[in-house]
Amino acid sequence: MHSQLKQKKKMKNIGELKKIYKIILDTCFIFNDYPYYDIATEEYFNNELGFYDSMYIALVRKLEFDGIVSFDKHFSNRGINKID
């Protein structure tokens, strides 16, 4: 019973977090064509990253998708390598 309540609360928190990400990301034109708040939310919960690190990863993935940067799998040096 306790674990069900905990899971329900976590799902509510994820839902709230997604709403927050959506509001933030929808105000940034760079994110408007893809739901990167899902990636940020997943990174936030799966990797126990902070809010800004999660947003950073979502941004890098967006830039990678657009061919602007490459995302280093090991995330060394913050994982950014500019593509010339």
Mention every residue, 6+ apart, whose C-beta is less than 8 A from residue 44. 17, 50, 51, 54
Q: CA nearest 35: which of 10, 15, 13, 18?
A: 18
Q: How many CA atoms lie within 13 A of 58 on its CB side?
A: 29
> For residue 57, what pLDDT is reported?
72
Tens-place pLDDT, residues 34-52: 555 666 666 666 666 676 6
Contact 21, 37 (CB under 8 A): yes
Looking at the whole model, is its pTM more than 0.75? no
Note down the domain range covering 29. Answer: 2-82
Point out the residues of the chain with pLDDT beneath 50.
29, 31-33, 73-84
Structurally, the chain folds into a number of domains equal to 1
Q: What would the two tokens of residue 5 be?
A: 């309540």
